[in-house]
Amino acid sequence: MKKRNNFWISLLIGMGFTLLFNSGCRKDDNPVNPEETRVYTTLDRTIIPAVVSEWPVLYPYEISRYPSFPGYGEWSYGPGAVCQKRLDLMPAAYSSTSVTKAANLLRYFTFSDTHITDEESPASAIYWGYKGGISGGYSPVCLLSTRVFDAAVRTINALHKEKPFDFGISLGDACNNMQYNELRWYIDILDGKKITPDSGIKDDPIPGPDNDYQDEFQAEGLNNTIPWYQTLGNHDHFWTGLLSPNDYARSVYIGDEILNIGSIYYNTTTPQPFDTRGFYMGSIDGSTRYGDITGVGEQANFATPPKVLSADANRRSLLREEWIGEFFNSTSIPNGHGFNQSNASTGFACYTFEPRTNIPIKVIVLDDTQSNEEPNNSYYGHGSLDADRYTWLQNELQKGQDEGKLMIVAAHVPIGVSLAGATDGWNLHAAVTDKDLIAKLHTYPNLILWIAGHRHINQVTPLVSPDLAHPELGFWEVETPSLRDFTQQFRTFDLVRNSDNTVSIFATDVDPIEADGSLPALSRYYAVAINQIYNKQPPYSPSGAYNAELVKQLTPEMQAKIENYGKAILK
């Protein structure tokens, strides 16, 4: 592997993003062939961040300094991550030695936490992360959220040509900050429209087309034969995923003065941050090459209120009903992307669908984010179910069980992986505890899988049956990482019937195709650098990828029912 010359990096970064990233920020000597048609998954190769030997005081917003330190943002291709066969849910005496794949039942993809971001919004939370602390408050990847999402869609389309998908589903946090323009960019990318990822005054930090984060581009759009469905995330209907905005906050979104709120160290004994003042949250100057931070810090340090370059009515914050309603303003399939008009009228963001008419499989899309009406919360980023949603979930699970259908729950927040009350855990004031929820889920043997996002990591968790005599009561949970932060991956799922009428779920991570020198490659550079600055070690380090075959026992009745289902696998 060839070490990069820091002098030349510094020179090139001063000349513009495009020149710098013609090298792809990779340390190996094997450039991507632009005519290469093969699509790689993490079974084939993985992204390995460079080892950083020097740990200077380097703040996340100091983008121009990244190249001054060896290793920051650099990565190389590593070996593929093996597909690990997991028998955690199976009886102790079970052996898969003579078991073979018999038929394909279902193939789909998931992506999550795209966090499409209007970086010039006056209602940001940059104060929380520009000098470290919370990468969700600030990370330079926010500059290119639309570009990396488009790269992911292009990669999905390429995979679809090799082996078609039955559907795709987003697991929430389409938007970063519940804004109308963020949601429109998200939907329009999937619809294949022209995208101008700029708000307020139109900026061009580096003169010329397709060479900076503000430039218009043509989205490829998801293949028009693939239905895609949507799940609600906490960032889709809360300010930066954490707070329910009041009238003051909603006025800031569409104004030009930067958000001024009270202490960010808010809890249930102190006033809501939106009700007090003291800290300007900051924004990004979209006319600058590196997206310079502006208007951030204590109120006492400003003689007059700081402002963004221009107000923009399209930055307006969306109510949950309005957010759902936008999915009917789309040219891709299906109409509403899972939601119906009742969902748009009431804000009830739960629904079901059956992806294939000839396979008995039901997908239950569950809104398990907190509601705006929940009391006694310091912030609204937990998982939660109120009584109505919990009753609805039980009814849908029972219907699926009675009708003899395998079931998949798709939700934003995972269960059983963090302590209740933790920052990414279950709401302590929910109508049902996560422990009781899992116990209830264990009464439906046809439930095979819970898929989720939210935590921005890959993780596979077995929810083992509480009754060893009935292993079919166990189910799997698979988390999909964020397209915003490292690892910037999405997942594919292949559901297979085995020769002994168990089912296997093949879960595979995919890195979006990002050609050397492209703006999506710049996003990867930022994501790797931020991960290094925070010195984070994701699960399944160093690549963060995890691929697995997850085996699930079925009831005798369900085994008999699916015995003749599926497209036979060619030997």
**Average pLDDT over every residue of 175-180:** 98
**Angstrom distance (rounded) from CA 569 to CA 514:** 32
DSSP calls for 447-484: EEEEEE-SSSS-EEEEE--S-TT-GGG-EEEEE--BSS
Domains of the chain: 6-82 (no CATH), 113-487 (3.60.21)
Average pLDDT, the chain: 91
The closest of 434, 323, 315 to 384, measured between CA atoms, is 434
Q: Taking residues 311-320, what's their average pLDDT?
A: 98
Model confidence band, residue 6 (pLDDT cutoffs 50, 70, 90) = very low
The whole-angstrom separation of Cα 489 and Cα 152 is 8
In this model, does residue 227 exceed pLDDT 70?
Answer: yes
On the CB side of 327, CA atoms within 13 Å amount to 28
Neighbours of 306 (CB within 10 A): 22
Residue 340 DSSP symbol: -
| Residue at token pair 């600058």 | 288
The CA R_g of the chain, rounded to the nearest whole Å, is 23
- The whole-model pTM stands at 0.93
Q: Residue range 137-164: average pLDDT?
A: 97
Tens of pLDDT, residues 446-505: 999 999 999 999 999 999 999 999 999 999 999 999 999 999 999 999 999 999 999 999
Percent of the chain's residues with pLDDT above 70: 92
20: enclosing H helix or E strand: helix 17-20
Section 65-74 average pLDDT: 92
Kindly state the tokens that stand for 366: 């569950």
**Closest-CA residue to 410 (of 110, 89, 176):** 110
d(CA 393, CA 389): 6
- What pLDDT score does 1 carry? 34
pLDDT at 12 over 60: no
